[in-house]
Structure 1
Amino acid sequence: MRLVKDKQVVVAADFAGFPLKEYVKRHLEKKGWEVTDLTPDKESSPMYHRAGFMVGAQIAEREFEKGLLFCGSGMGIHVAASKCPHVHSAVAESVEAARRAATANNCNVLAMGAFWAGPRLGAGMADAFLENSLGDGYEDWDGFYEYHKLGYDETEQFDYEAYKANGFEVVNPGTVELGPEPARVSF
């Protein structure tokens, strides 16, 4: 698996997200990242959902730890990537949301919308997402890591049929006590 700690990431875009992807790719490469671009040519870029499937498959097959996706809104491409097993995708429209996708939700794919995310914002969101991991920055919030790790694990192992058979309740839910929110936490 190509890991973030080794500065490895996979990216893809449809036609609408292509210019933002190109800017973010150049930004990451200048910072020493090896960027595997599944859509190197705008004219042959697939429809948004197919680009989402492409990166999602790379995550599902454990080829890459994290990926970045770009389309007009970030929404459709993110939904498509999420159809692949083991993909936990997020859409971000701010640096804070991109960081939180990594630190609280342990997402492995981040989607951005080029219709409203400018190049520098896209680069900032990529940095925040790729440079953070589950629990980072919340070390003084008792139970934060455990709380969000439980959420990730229950999502990763979710079985809809078992959930349905259990009266739409999580089967054998775990418990974690989340301590009081520290005064300095911002969202």
Structure 2
Amino acid sequence: MLAIGSDHGGFRLKEAIKEYLAANQIGFCDFGTHSVDSVDYPDIAKTVAQAVAAGECERGILICGTGIGISIAANKMKGIRAALCHDVFSAKMSREHNDANILAMGERVIGQGLALMIVETWLKSEFTGGRHENRVCKITDMEQNR
């Protein structure tokens, strides 16, 4: 199960991603927003990140206007590794090397077609472990000892 959420600046792209997920029979839970009315992105980031950190959802997708604010907010939550990706290669590497559990994107930065390719790549990519495992563990240790 995926958690998905956006602020008003990412609402339209979130809706397009939901259509893609439904068409590909990928389960998701929409944590809002549910319109283009202004909302605060940290609130959406928090609810999605909490669902992922608690194990209620395996991974998450967050969208705002640029992806920057919502990814910063999500990364404040313990256990979250949110990666802001606006290209397919970064999406792939965020999973394979960093074990990112939240994908963040900006609706005002990329088009829908590219965003859907990024989502598809990110969902199909898996953490490779190996030498990257130690690095991810160091990130977790930093988080534990702040």
Match of 2:132 in 1: 148
1:75 to 64, 68, 88: 68
Mind listing any 5+ residue stretches in structure 1 that lack a counterpart?
A: 1-7, 136-144, 162-187
TM-score w.r.t. the length of structure 1 is: 0.73
Q: Please tell me whether the aligned partners of residues 82 and 89 of structure 1 are also in contact (alpha carbons under 8 angstroms).
A: yes
Mind listing any 5+ residue stretches in structure 2 that lack a counterpart?
A: none
Residue 12 of structure 1 aligns to which amino acid in structure 2?
G
| Identical pairs, percent | 26
Name which structure has the greater RCO, CA cutoff 8 Å, separation 6+: 2
Q: Please tell me whether the aligned partners of residues 5 and 31 of structure 2 are also in contact (alpha carbons under 8 angstroms).
A: yes
Q: Cα offset for 1:41?
A: 1.2
Q: Deviations for 1:27-51, whole angstroms, at most 9, x for unmatched residues?
A: 1110111121111511566311111
User: Against the structure 1 CA distance between its residues 68 and 15, is the aligned structure 2 distance closer, same or farther, given a 3 Å change threshold?
Assistant: same
TM-score w.r.t. the length of structure 2 is: 0.93
Q: Deviations for 1:106-130, whole angstroms, at most 9, x for unmatched residues?
A: 0000100000111111111111111
Match of 1:34 in 2: 27
For residues 3-152 of structure 1, the aligned pairs below 5 Å read: 8-39=1-32, 41-43=34-36, 46-135=39-128, 145-152=129-136
Q: Say how many residue pairs are matched.
A: 145
Q: How many angstroms apart in 1 are the aligned matches of 2:94 and 2:38?
A: 26
SS of the residue 1:16 aligns to: helix
Give the structure with the larger helix fraction.
Answer: 2
Root-mean-square deviation (Å): 1.4
User: Against the structure 1 CA distance between its residues 45 and 129, is the aligned structure 2 distance closer, same or farther, given a 3 Å change threshold?
Assistant: farther
Runs of 4+ in 1 over 6 A off after TM superposition: none
Q: How many angstroms apart in 2 are the aligned matches of 1:33 and 1:108?
A: 16
Structure number with greater Rg is 1
Q: Cα offset for 1:96?
A: 1.1
